Amino acid sequence: MHMIDDPLTEGSDVASPAVGRGQGFYPFAEQQELAVILSLNIVFTAGKHNGSYFVVQAKDAFFDEVRELAVIGGAGRFRGATGYGIMSIHL
């Protein structure tokens, strides 16, 4: 089980302006493949969404090039949010 509290930036370059934090955890959840349950609060700390967050949960399989994330709720401007996101790794 890993806990994270990582910066969220406007772009994929870590030097681009920070807009918030990705805070959550990912326990290993599968016995047959390398995958975790990713549970994250996407917390905005700047801009017009400052103080609001939305909640993401996903199956994060390490060898999938693209992973689909479920947006399952939120607070503030994101109250009642639902939707999805797409995640890939930038090396």
Ligand X SMILES: *[C@@H]1O[C@H](CO)[C@@H](O)[C@H](O)[C@H]1NC(C)=O
Q: How many residues bind ligand X (CB under 6 A)?
A: 4
Nearest to 39, CA basis, from 24, 22, 29: 24
Handedness of CA 75, 43, 29, 64 (dihedral sign): positive
Cα 32 from chain centre: 24
Segment interacting with ligand X (CB under 6 A) among 25-33, 44-52, 63-71, 79-87: 44-52
Q: What minimum distance in Å lies between the beta carbon of 23 and ligand X?
A: 15
Q: Which of residues 59-88 bind ligand X (CB under 6 A)?
A: none
Q: Is 17 in the site for ligand X (CB under 6 A)?
A: no
